[in-house]
Homo-oligomer: A and B are copies of this chain.
Amino acid sequence: MTTNDVQNVFVALADPARRKIIETLTEVGAKTATQLVPGLEMTRQGVTKHLNILADAGLVTIYQRGRDKYYVLTPEPLEEATLWISAIAARWDERLEALRQFLEDDNETTGET
């Protein structure tokens, strides 16, 4: 499941509204869907959909207080994203020398589009 976990986390982080929710929950601690609506330009149901995606990634936990449903950040799954990235970075450092080899043989071109 670990491989699917990192997928869900990266998908969750790929949307600006969801990152903003994460930032807000980081600052405020706990909020309901309706409390999150102002600031995100979107209806409550839209916010709820994003919260569900965050919940699927394990990034929020829900605490129900009567009719209110408070969402709280669960940052642990972020670690999996960080691990994936740092594994790449680590292996990349090993490859740098071989890369230099490649570049010396060649004429370079700009990679910008």
Residues on A lying within 8 angstroms of B by beta carbon are: 7, 10-11, 13-14, 16, 19, 22-23, 26-27, 29-30, 52, 55-56, 60-65, 70, 72-75, 78, 81-82, 84-86, 88-89, 91-92, 95, 98-99, 102-103, 105-113
Question: A7 to chain B: closest CB distance in Å?
Answer: 6
Known: A7-B16, A56-B113, A63-B106. A88 touches B78 (CB 8 A): yes
CB distance from A4 to the nearest CB of B (A): 10
Establish whether residues B88 and A26, one from each chain, have CB atoms under 8 Å apart when the complex forms: yes
Contact of A14 among B14, B29, B64 (CB under 8 A): B14
Docked Cα-Cα span, A99 to B63, in Å, equals 12
